[in-house]
Structure 1
Amino acid sequence: MKKLALIALPLALAACGGEAPSGAPEGGPPPPPPYQLRAELPEGNRLAASNEGETLYSNRCGTCHLAGGMGTNLLTVQQMKAGNSPEMGLLTNRTDLTVDYVKAVVRNGKVAMPPLSRVEATDAELDAIAAFLAKDKL
């Protein structure tokens, strides 16, 4: 019976012309949420400080800290309880971050954020990410 189904399915799809059934949305599924749209890193030596902080932040931290991520949602609630704007939940909007603070939180963890090892983010990558988040406060 399984063999028949495996043969019949491709034949049925070929007969339909491969088109979506009626009632299906045109253009395919909706795009993924922002926190799933992480930047791709170029091939090369991860230990070299050659990647840009913004790209590294998107790739290494984006799963939780881009719009819609769990880290952003938790920080937004925390910022609102402190009387700040909800936009401060996004780390890229923060103006109070320093390089040393970012490095300490990444390596040691804080509240719901687990510590990240040097395998997950090398020291060179963390330096670039911290500089990106701290902006001009180096």
Structure 2
Amino acid sequence: MKHVLTVAAVVLLAACSKQGEAPAAPAQAGKGPPPPPPYQMRPEAPGGNRLAGGDGKTLFEVNCGYCHLTGGMGTNLLTKQRMAAGEPPEKGLLANRTDLTADYVKQVVRLGKNAMPPQTKVDLTDAELEAVAAYLGKAK
């Protein structure tokens, strides 16, 4: 029985090996890096705009709204902090804040703060973050 298994293994290895053949070159050789995997890509929007909705307000609502719109955990925590500082509760909504700068928004999004985890470039691309930061960081 051992001989049969040994012979079968040798025959299988011989059939699988490509002796004397050069390895095939990668299909992308010399053409730059391959495209990212599908889970890292954003679908194209009508008109070729990769931004979902194309504006910072929509991107904020879609990507950040579950925490930072009315009733969200981030809004509730910020409202408590603002009220403790003697400010009105409306200041808990990020869209109502006038003290945010675009650079501050980008820093907090990428690094996280307190209960907010950092958001990666897969979560929010650089272009999307720029639009959200411009929306939240504008002087109101």
SS of 1:87's equivalent in the other structure is helix
Task: Give the structure 2 partner of residue 70 of structure 1.
Answer: 73
Structure of higher RCO (CA pairs closer than 8 Å, 6+ residues apart): 1
SS of 2:64's equivalent in the other structure is helix
Task: Give the structure 1 partner of residue 117 of structure 2.
Answer: 114
Task: Give the structure 1 partner of residue 14 of structure 2.
Answer: none
Separation (CA, whole Å) in 2 of partners of 1:108 and 1:129: 15
SS of 2:79's equivalent in the other structure is helix
Q: Normalized against structure 2, the TM-score is what?
A: 0.63
1:73-117 CA-to-partner distances (Å, cap 9, x unmatched) read 000001011111110000000000000000000000000000000
Query: Does the CA contact (< 8 Å) of 1:99 and 1:131 recur in 2?
Result: yes
Query: Does the CA contact (< 8 Å) of 2:98 and 2:139 recur in 1?
Result: no
Aligned length: 96
Task: Give the structure 2 partner of residue 104 of structure 1.
Answer: 107
Separation (CA, whole Å) in 1 of partners of 2:49 and 2:63: 14
Identity of aligned residues (%): 59
Alignment of 1:5-44 (within 5 A): 43-44=43-44
Separation (CA, whole Å) in 2 of partners of 1:86 and 1:79: 6
Task: Give the structure 1 partner of residue 133 of structure 2.
Answer: 130
Q: Which amino acid aligns with 1:84?
A: E
Query: Does the CA contact (< 8 Å) of 1:47 and 1:124 recur in 2?
Result: no
Q: Tell me, which stretches of 5 or more residues in structure 2 are unaligned?
A: 1-41
1:18-44 CA-to-partner distances (Å, cap 9, x unmatched) read xxxxxxxxxxxxxxxxxxxxxxxx951
* Rg larger for: 2
| CA root-mean-square deviation | 2.3
Query: Does the CA contact (< 8 Å) of 1:87 and 1:93 recur in 2?
Result: yes
Q: Tell me, which stretches of 5 or more residues in structure 1 are unaligned?
A: 1-41
Q: Normalized against structure 1, the TM-score is what?
A: 0.64
